[in-house]
Chains A and B, each alone.
Chain A
């Protein structure tokens, strides 16, 4: 087709570039059952590995007898910590600077901990063999309550750390203490509290939960003993990091390890870390020379690989009588379970929790976090969250409501009064961040106008009066959340994982006929990168997105990157993509100048090619330029048209949003119904609005689940409760509310395309909106703070305690 027969608008539309609701490329295979997930991999001679797990949360392992299992035909081996010690892999480093047992080394620290790895010809036999491994345990006193972890008589959990008075993040003050993280100005904070007109103080807990993607964690390790090469397929959100860790641990040179993350069935933070299953599968394949598959079942997933949250936040705000906040003080008790396996950038023991000042202009603040060990599973992963930002957003958004209640102010008005103003950006927060951009008042006002907020408050007042008169058994809550996210980890000056700076990368190759293959260091788990990354390239270099193939997850072909989590893909890799594309465009400009026999400065970019300024008829499309790049490049210029970019972000990005939840609660049943949920997001430049809205729907559904019932609970004996979908709340289509989405656009000033990232915003902002709605509903009956999760049984109990039940 001759480009010039099309209008500029038609040529732009043909690109399906940024801003377009492009249909997803991935869906073509997924809707036909042709996705390729780890468990779909079959290899000749493949063995199956499975774990013997501890029924006890804290016990000595006295003896492991595998003889009955080994006698079963088809069982190849049973690995224990003693076997792993031979290859120095009985323990492995965690991302948080701790070490974790791969297989129980003398004792177990949580229920379902990995004790032995059974290797068999098929998965049924592996399961049979597990039942035949005899393990003798001696039970030890169990520590479940984090608030008792530092009692003088608390049991010693980590015997390997006895006598160690400091850890990866500084001094330890007790045998179950991991770290103290102290940020901000304590003296000025104390002074502000001393001088305050009004203060609030509340213990705000964010309970333990789990990301629970529909596909569990799994891998296939295949060691080629002849070549000395290891191929590792796995559910990896960060395949390159896994390759580096696998090389460091196994001593196989990194170039002889091929890590491939195929299609991933959701991640949500669950698939960032390295787990015992990966290590055992690799060791088993090295030992046997046969491929080894390890696939978690759901109970294993929920009870062992990576819990999230479990933060207990004592929160205080100081304010003036008029509602102006003057100081924030937060102490967090962080329950890390048996090992500190938090998936945070290495220097951040509590992630970016110091975003806890939120969207408000706190002149001073002080934060301290104490991490402790308990007899629970390790983890502390960022469940659709940028490293403890969900906890921080919940903390401040709940606390602002509590302050509003104490002041007798409307919570929307209190927020409006204290927002960081548009003219204050870039804004230095009291706890050390530089917020890039925002217009909080605009977003809040838009949300309030859309919902007719004042009328809702009036309705609520009338319903409260009707309730008091006994005319209704229903109470109404309006939950507000105005969150500020911090995503895009991150700048090398302060973000690394095990020493590797958290840059990201893109490589773009334009083929002679003008089509493109592009590879990135990120890895989609449903975010639709194959679709959206092509849109960025399409806009930048004028080649239709349908002619651009995006490939991620193969560490042999993709440039090194730190992967996809913490909403970092768009802020970091998205920038790398734009900059790599711009390198291509710059070279293309030189080629076009040569072809048109003009100076490159006489050319201007026009949608999909270069044209001579003032003479648009004289132009070369990118397709023509691509051919010339291979066929007849300008004298002295290297042929070809490709570029690589590694992007080290200068700053984080700070998406934000205004979320409102309108809820009705039946006090006699505790059943809460979400009448309306409105989510306004500002994620800067919007690459694909359809995908953004899909992300928001999904994140809100997770937020709804977490706030309203999803929990990994332990009983007093340390038994993990709710480790199956029978007990762990995942909402169905019936419970899930209808979502209303909206947006404002405040581009990031430091990002090449102004995009900020959005995937996690709805989880971060959604949870406080739901919880604030519940709390707002009960506030007029005399409650100040109700702990999550807000399932019907708990809400009924709250109503009963407040004397509101029939």
Chain B
């Protein structure tokens, strides 16, 4: 096995404290997927273009394929696995993506939902143009985005206590 020196790492992932030793070159996405078995975040490009690996880190959207795990020392991370409530109730975004047919193959979905999660924290009532600009760092090959936009609008409405009347199209 590798003889590279291991570094201590402490962070909070989906509300749970995690302590491990990692090689300094280990990418955060590999740490999450392989060390913590959180396989929700995916790898689509390794170059920060596609956003399939998007997580929330200290309240920001981060592409975990281009960050070292050691850089996340002390951070609070949320992945798709941490989006539902403890009792299993789905978040408004998870519900919205299903209701509005905002996914097909599902590969971009965990990153897309995590990006939308931070977007709605920053801007709880975004316009369509703001949503489109807000998710421009996340590529989807299946949906053409139209129903993803609706899914996010659905969630925004639900979080604000409003009904969302439109159907998926």
Q: Is the beta-carbon distance between A73 and B2 smaller than 8 angstroms?
A: yes
B123 contacts the other chain (Cβ, under 8 Å)?
Answer: no
A730 contacts the other chain (Cβ, under 8 Å)?
Answer: yes
User: In the complex where A213-B141, A298-B44, A725-B139 touch, is A698 in contact with B98 (Cβ < 8 A)?
Assistant: no
User: In the complex where A33-B40, A39-B43 touch, is A693 in contact with B169 (Cβ < 8 A)?
Assistant: yes
Q: How far does the Cβ of A33 sit from chain B's closest Cβ, in whole Å?
A: 2
Chain A contacts for B113, CB-based, 8 A = 31
Q: How far does the Cβ of A689 sit from chain B's closest Cβ, in whole Å?
A: 10
Q: Is the beta-carbon distance between A214 and B84 smaller than 8 angstroms?
A: no
Q: Which of A36, A214, A741 contacts B105 (CB 8 A)?
A: A214
CB neighbors of B among A18-56 (8 A): 21, 23-24, 26-37, 39-40, 42
B38 contacts the other chain (Cβ, under 8 Å)?
Answer: yes
Chain B contacts for A191, CB-based, 8 A = none
Provide the bound-state CA to CA distance between A697 and B103, in Å.
11
A122 contacts the other chain (Cβ, under 8 Å)?
Answer: yes
Provide the bound-state CA to CA distance between A124 and B3, in Å.
12
- Chain A positions 113 through 129: 1 when the CB is less than 8 Å from some CB of chain B, otherwise 0: 00000000111110000
In the complex, identify which listed stretch (A192-200, A329-337, A524-532, A555-563) lies at the interface while the others stay far away: A524-532
Provide the bound-state CA to CA distance between A215 and B106, in Å.
10
CB neighbors of A among B122-169 (8 A): 131-133, 135-149, 167-169
Chain A contacts for B106, CB-based, 8 A = 26-27, 29-31, 35, 263, 265, 526
Provide the bound-state CA to CA distance between A698 and B144, in Å.
5
Q: Which of A40, A214, A298 contacts B140 (CB 8 A)?
A: A214
User: In the complex where A24-B98, A40-B39, A121-B1 touch, is A214 in contact with B146 (Cβ < 8 A)?
Assistant: no
- Chain A positions 689 through 726: 1 when the CB is less than 8 Å from some CB of chain B, otherwise 0: 01101110110111000000000000000000000111
CB neighbors of B among A715-762 (8 A): 724-726, 730, 732-734, 736, 738-739, 741
Provide the bound-state CA to CA distance between A32 and B147, in Å.
18
Q: How far does the Cβ of A256 sit from chain B's closest Cβ, in whole Å?
A: 29
Q: Is the beta-carbon distance between B44 and A215 smaller than 8 angstroms?
A: yes
Provide the bound-state CA to CA distance between A702 and B143, in Å.
10
Q: How far does the Cβ of A736 sit from chain B's closest Cβ, in whole Å?
A: 5
In the complex, identify which listed stretch (B5-13, B47-55, B68-76) lies at the interface while the others stay far away: B47-55
Q: Is the beta-carbon distance between B143 and A694 smaller than 8 angstroms?
A: yes
A275 contacts the other chain (Cβ, under 8 Å)?
Answer: no
User: In the complex where A214-B108, A697-B147 touch, is A730 in contact with B98 (Cβ < 8 A)?
Assistant: no
Contact-residue size bin, chain B (C-beta under 8 Å from the other chain)? 35 or more
User: In the complex where A694-B143, A734-B136 touch, is A31 in contact with B101 (Cβ < 8 A)?
Assistant: no
User: In the complex where A28-B98, A215-B42, A298-B44 touch, is A726 in contact with B49 (Cβ < 8 A)?
Assistant: yes
Contact-residue size bin, chain A (C-beta under 8 Å from the other chain)? 35 or more
B64 contacts the other chain (Cβ, under 8 Å)?
Answer: no
CB neighbors of A among B62-100 (8 A): 79-81, 83-84, 90, 94-95, 97-99
CB neighbors of B among A171-227 (8 A): 212-216
Q: Which of B38, B104, B107 contacts A215 (CB 8 A)?
A: B107
Q: Considering residues A528, A693, A702, which has the most beta carbons from chain B within 10 angstroms of its beta carbon?
A: A693
Closest to B40 in A: A33
Q: How far does the Cβ of B113 sit from chain A's closest Cβ, in whole Å?
A: 7
User: In the complex where A73-B1, A264-B105, A694-B101 touch, is A33 in contact with B38 (Cβ < 8 A)?
Assistant: yes
Q: Which of B2, B83, B107 contacts A214 (CB 8 A)?
A: B107
Provide the bound-state CA to CA distance between A215 and B45, in Å.
9
Provide the bound-state CA to CA distance between A733 and B149, in Å.
9
Chain B contacts for A526, CB-based, 8 A = 104-107, 142
Q: Is the beta-carbon distance between B40 and A525 smaller than 8 angstroms?
A: no
A394 contacts the other chain (Cβ, under 8 Å)?
Answer: no
A512 contacts the other chain (Cβ, under 8 Å)?
Answer: no
Q: How far does the Cβ of B46 sit from chain A's closest Cβ, in whole Å?
A: 6
A266 contacts the other chain (Cβ, under 8 Å)?
Answer: yes
CB neighbors of A among B20-40 (8 A): 23, 25-26, 30, 33-34, 37-40
Closest to B96 in A: A31
Q: Is the beta-carbon distance between B40 and A32 smaller than 8 angstroms?
A: yes
Q: Is the beta-carbon distance between A124 and B23 smaller than 8 angstroms?
A: yes
Provide the bound-state CA to CA distance between A489 and B116, in Å.
40
Q: Considering residues B1, B47, B107, B143, which has the most beta carbons from chain A within 10 angstroms of its beta carbon?
A: B107
Chain B contacts for A73, CB-based, 8 A = 1-3
B61 contacts the other chain (Cβ, under 8 Å)?
Answer: no
Chain B contacts for A27, CB-based, 8 A = 97-98, 103, 106
A297 contacts the other chain (Cβ, under 8 Å)?
Answer: yes
Q: How far does the Cβ of A688 sit from chain B's closest Cβ, in whole Å?
A: 10
User: In the complex where A27-B97, A73-B2, A525-B105 touch, is A32 in contact with B81 (Cβ < 8 A)?
Assistant: yes
A646 contacts the other chain (Cβ, under 8 Å)?
Answer: no
Q: Which of B107, B135, B168, B169 contacts A37 (CB 8 A)?
A: B107
Closest to A125 in B: B2
Chain B contacts for A694, CB-based, 8 A = 101, 104, 142-143, 147, 168
Chain A contacts for B108, CB-based, 8 A = 214
Provide the bound-state CA to CA distance between A265 and B136, in Å.
19
User: In the complex where A23-B99, A214-B105, A725-B49 touch, is A265 in contact with B40 (Cβ < 8 A)?
Assistant: no
Q: How far does the Cβ of A296 sit from chain B's closest Cβ, in whole Å?
A: 11
- Chain A positions 518 through 554: 1 when the CB is less than 8 Å from some CB of chain B, otherwise 0: 0000000111100000000000000000000000000
A634 contacts the other chain (Cβ, under 8 Å)?
Answer: no
Chain B contacts for A263, CB-based, 8 A = 105-106
Q: How far does the Cβ of B144 sit from chain A's closest Cβ, in whole Å?
A: 3
Provide the bound-state CA to CA distance between A266 and B52, in Å.
13
Q: Is the beta-carbon distance between A698 and B136 smaller than 8 angstroms?
A: no
Q: Is the beta-carbon distance between B103 and A724 smaller than 8 angstroms?
A: no
User: In the complex where A32-B94, A215-B105 touch, is A732 in contact with B144 (Cβ < 8 A)?
Assistant: no
Chain A contacts for B140, CB-based, 8 A = 214, 733
User: In the complex where A24-B98, A39-B43, A693-B169 touch, is A700 in contact with B50 (Cβ < 8 A)?
Assistant: no
| 10 A-B pairs with least C-beta separation | A33-B40, A526-B105, A265-B107, A30-B106, A697-B144, A33-B80, A725-B49, A701-B144, A526-B104, A40-B39
Beyond A73-B1, A266-B107, A725-B45, 5 additional pairs, beta carbon < 8 A: A214-B107, A526-B105, A730-B139, A733-B133, A741-B169
Q: Which residues of B contact A (CB under 8 A)?
A: 1-3, 23, 25-26, 30, 33-34, 37-47, 49-50, 52, 79-81, 83-84, 90, 94-95, 97-99, 101, 103-110, 113, 131-133, 135-149, 167-169
Q: Which residues of A contact B (CB under 8 A)?
A: 21, 23-24, 26-37, 39-40, 42, 73-74, 121-125, 212-216, 263-266, 268, 297-298, 525-528, 690-691, 693-695, 697-698, 700-702, 724-726, 730, 732-734, 736, 738-739, 741
A-B contact pairs, 21 of them (CB 8 A): A23-B98, A28-B98, A29-B106, A32-B83, A37-B42, A39-B33, A39-B43, A74-B1, A214-B44, A215-B42, A264-B105, A265-B44, A266-B107, A268-B141, A297-B46, A298-B44, A526-B107, A527-B104, A694-B104, A697-B147, A698-B144
